[in-house]
Amino acid sequence: MLLESLSVAALVVVLVCAVVRPFRWPEAAFAVPAAALVVATGAIGPDAVREEAARLGPVIGFLAAVLVLAKLCDDEGLFHACGTWMARWAHRRPRRLLGAVFFLASLITAALSLDATVVLLTPVVFATAARMGARPGPHVYASAHLSNTASLLLPVSNLTNLLAFTATGLTFTRFALLMLLPWLAAIAVEYAVFRRFFAADLDAPAEPVEGREAPELPLFALVTVAATLGGFAAASAAGVDPAWVAASGAAVMAVRALARRRTTPTAIVRSAALPFLAFVLALGIVVRAVVDNGLGPALGAVLPDGTSLPALLGTAALAALLANLINNLPAVLALVPLAAPSGPGAVLAVLLGVNIGPNLTYAGSLATLLWRRIAHHHGHGVELGEFTLLGLLTVPAALLASTLALWVSLALVGT
């Protein structure tokens, strides 16, 4: 009982500090000592620590490579080009701008992970809306929601997907095929709700403050990203860890940037977000301690078995609830080992819950918390009531639509 209470308390401290960030310290400043505490007290044994480190090691390596790749693409002007394209496509019409944001945010989240959408695309969306004279609310909220919802498609789109990918036993390509329909269904629901919810903002006339810019197309960055995505599929079929492919793509971009003196080795290392990587590993250890000391059996008792439609719906709903209670990273770490015996479909249902569910509350995902800080930095107040109401309108409907789509995909594609 003592170890169970200690593990839970450590997890609570880690999550609260990740949300509040006292003294503006990085999340790792609290997570690493918490992990050391549960190890030192015996809440988790050395063998379990080594097992968790071995499981998370490739995931952390992949995440570092993708973060570097995304930052170097930004330095090449990829996201600036996205903003230019959005402004030209919208042609002073806010509803068209919303469609452009949905399109680009969905693609960027899927290809470069949700971190790229939150950190790199969100400021571009603010700038594009300001240049058009459009109200930023609908478009900025879209970048937040799609950083979560649009991360369903590929194993590389979200850290939660990476954590669950091995447990599915699927190849990169089959994972994408199974998640394509759920991805499209969830995005379609979000888009329909956004058009109604923000109707007044979207119908307000836009007053451009400057002329259109000539579009810039960073071909090298686009080709590198496309080649990296193709490499993921090929590597998965060959049994090669995708982290090596991501590292190769990042290395190609880094060599070019260094040769042109557009970056420095220090800047590249900084873009890998080493404190956040340490946080992910420490959080995994703390969650493992909580699971081993009571949470696992409790969740196992309520998690549905099998991949029937009711079971998939129940699994997705439980995952969404847990993500909003303890954040989606601990939720996926806790639920995936329990869902894996029921097959890949059950694990994918967990991902639907932990990826879509966080749009309901600020604390549901770290990406949402980071997005809120970026929004405040740009002078856009995020109201709790509006955020929650939008979540209530989108999350249940998107979960239902995507779970139905997953059930259909499992029947059509198989596992």
**Higher local confidence (pLDDT), 133 or 363:** 133
Out of 61-70, 127-136, 251-260, the most confident range is: 251-260
Instruction: Give residue 242's pLDDT.
Output: 84
Distance, in Å, from the CA atom of 238 to the CA atom of 339, rounded to the nearest integer, reads 26
Distance (Å, whole) CA 27 – CA 31: 6
Q: What is the pLDDT of residues 314-324, one digit of tens each?
A: 999 999 999 98
Q: Give the residue from 93, 100, 167, 200 showing the smallest Cα distance to 340.
A: 167
The mean pLDDT of the chain is 89
CA nearest to 358, candidates 320, 411, 317: 320
pLDDT-derived band of residue 215, with 50, 70 and 90 as boundaries?
A: low
Mean pLDDT value across residues 265-279: 91
91 conformational bin, left if phi > 0, alpha if psi -120 to 50, beta if neither: left
Cβ proximity of 350 and 316 under 8 Å? yes
Containing H/E element for 139?
Answer: helix 137-149
**Is residue 213's pLDDT more than 70?**
no
Left (φ > 0), alpha (ψ -120 to 50) or beta: where does 361 sit?
beta
Dig out the tokens for 375 from the structure: 């929004």
Q: Determine the pLDDT at residue 414.
A: 76
Quote the CA–CA distance of 125 and 343 in Å, as a whole number.
39
DSSP state of 294: I
Percentage of the chain surpassing pLDDT 70?
98
Output the pLDDT for position 238: 82
| Residue 78: Cβ-neighbour burial (10 angstroms; 0-12, 13-18, 19+) | buried
| pLDDT confidence tier of residue 352, bands split at 50, 70 and 90 | very high
Q: Quickly tell me which residue has 């090298």 as its tokens.
A: 220
- pLDDT value at position 3? 84
Q: In 10 A of CB 22, how many CB atoms?
A: 9
The answer to whether 68 and 272 are in contact (CB under 8 A) is yes
Distance (Å, whole) CA 342 – CA 346? 6
Nearest to 11 by CA among 28, 27, 29, 35: 35
At residue 205, the pLDDT reads: 79
pLDDT-derived band of residue 43, with 50, 70 and 90 as boundaries?
A: very high
Q: Which residue has the higher pLDDT, 210 or 236?
A: 236
CA distances from residue 279 to 72, 200, 238 in whole angstroms, order as listed: 23, 41, 31
Rounded CA-CA distance 327/165 in Å is: 19
pLDDT class for 415, splitting at 50, 70, 90? Answer: low
- Cβ neighbours of residue 393 under 8 Å, at least 6 residues apart? 193, 197
Q: What is the DSSP letter of 215?
A: P
DSSP secondary structure letter of residue 157: S
Confidence of residue 385 (pLDDT cuts 50, 70, 90): confident
* Contact residues for 199 (Cβ-Cβ < 8 A; gap 6+): none
**CA 110 – CA 284 distance, rounded (Å):** 24
Maximum CA pair distance of the chain?
A: 66
CB 89 within 8 A of CB 96: yes
Cα 309 to Cα 410: distance, rounded to the nearest angstrom: 10
- Alpha carbon distance 354, 228 (integer Å): 26
